[in-house]
Amino acid sequence: MTKIRVTKEFTFEMAHALWNYDGPCRNIHGHSYKLYVTVRGQTLENSGSTKMGMVIDFTDLKEIVNKNIVDYFDHSVIISSKAGNPEISHVKKMFDKFYIVDYQPTCENLVTHMANVLIQKLPAHVELFSLKLCETATSYAEWYAEDNQ
């Protein structure tokens, strides 16, 4: 029994601010994110299936990730609920697409959130293997299923 990993890359634009941070990232700022989604599974061997030989059709993976991650986060502002009412009120007045989350919106916490979402959305025969979220050209966070079991 052979398992194969397949990966698809996604891009989106998002802004965030880190509440109570001691550097410039405490201010709202944006990034051009790259997200690498790697799934694992066995290739489908049903000769009657149009998906024969695939772990998952890249088009299906694209639809799942776009609908649940990219479309959600793209061109949004993310801030922590701990920021408090004055800051949250300003965000609500200034931006149409924003999310107040129960975590500090660091690259590490964002990739964990994304993993938790995708685990619930993938077909039963496909496992989420890893995510790599690049916040800048030289900085990224990775999530691996084996580290989180």
Q: Which residues are annotated as catalytic?
A: 25, 75, 135
Structure tokens at 103: 């975590």
Distances (CA, A) of 96 to 48, 89, 101, 106, 131: 47, 12, 16, 21, 28
Name the phi and psi angles at 78, rounded to 5: -120, 125
Map residue 80 onto helix, strand or coil: strand
- Residue written as token pair 């051009």: 32
Q: Which helix H or strand E contains 130, and what residues bound it? A: strand 127-134
Name the phi and psi angles at 23, rounded to 5: -140, -175
- Residue written as token pair 């964002």: 110
